[in-house]
Amino acid sequence: MAHRLPIRLLTWDVKDTLIRLRHPVGEQYAAKAQAHRLEVEATALGQAFGQVYKAQNHRFPTYGLSQGLTSRQWWQDVVLQTFHLAGVRDPQAVATIADQLYEDFSSPCTWQVLEGAETTLRRCRNRGLRLAVISNFDRRLEDVLVGLGLREHFDFVLTSEAAGWPKPDPRIFHKALQLAHTEPASAAHIGDSYRCDYQGARAVGMHSFLVVGSEPLDPMIRDSVPKEHILPSLSHLLPALDQGSAPGP
């Protein structure tokens, strides 16, 4: 006979687990540029953003806090470099766009709640589970969650900017457990990243579930993650908890 896992705390990734952008980054950057009479292809901006974001994370991890940057400065630099790589050579015009984009991405209008997210969070709370956020987001996340009507479900929101470490660094998971006064064996983490969420949580002794959606699963991940730890949708979470299979380390 299956027994429920002894879980008291669920920690959640946010972006692409509970919420997502309404439009791709390249499209949003291109639309903002067009409003300033700059014509730049959305595809070019999207590709440039991917390269710049990766390089910026490598050069200035955790929004450059240890190098004296603020997350706002970090993102403004990402926008400037993205437009430059896409062929725009007018940094003064792009600086204005960067300021406005920072505010845009702070607005709930830029984001949408994924199907099943609010219902799943509410059902978890009704079951008596405590909920919290562990996210590689910046300080804007609180306002985004409030605007989307999700903040009320969480005891606390821990971002990598606030913690000083990004997932999968074990210190951000330990910090969350400390804030919740909970042992790893009594907590489970839910997220869409195999490395940052699934493996990161397991490395500190937490249970974990991987949200995969409808996209085909990478064969390497499919072979590494037991089927009962995989959530095709958020609605599968509570049944997975009820099955009593402990997705721990």
If asked whether residues 212 and 124 sit together in one domain, one would say yes
Residue 223 is part of a domain; what is its CATH number?
3.40.50.1000
d(CA 22, CA 147): 14
Q: Are residues 229 and 118 in the same domain?
A: yes
Rounded CA gap, 230 and 199, in Å?
13
pLDDT of residue 35: 95
Q: Is residue 169 part of a domain?
A: yes
Instruction: With a cut of 80, say whether residue 1 has pLDDT above it.
Output: no
Q: What is the pLDDT of residue 2?
A: 46
What pLDDT score was predicted for residue 222? 85
Give the Cα-Cα-Cα angle 158, 70, 35 (nearest 5 degrees).
105
Instruction: Say yes or no: 58 and 170 in one domain.
Output: no
Model confidence pLDDT, tens digit, residues 96-107: 999 999 999 999
Contact 107, 21 (CB under 8 A): no
126 shares its domain with 105: no
State residue 200 phi and psi, 5-degree precision: -60, -45
Per-residue tokens: 79: 């926008």
Q: pLDDT per residue over 5-46, tens digit each?
A: 689 999 999 999 999 999 999 999 999 999 999 999 999 999
Distance CA 122, CA 129 (A): 10
* CATH code of the domain in which 53 resides: 1.10.150.720
What are the pLDDT digits (tens) for 108-153?
A: 999 999 999 999 999 999 999 999 999 999 999 999 999 999 999 9
Of 85-99, 108-122, 160-174, 232-246, the least confident: 232-246
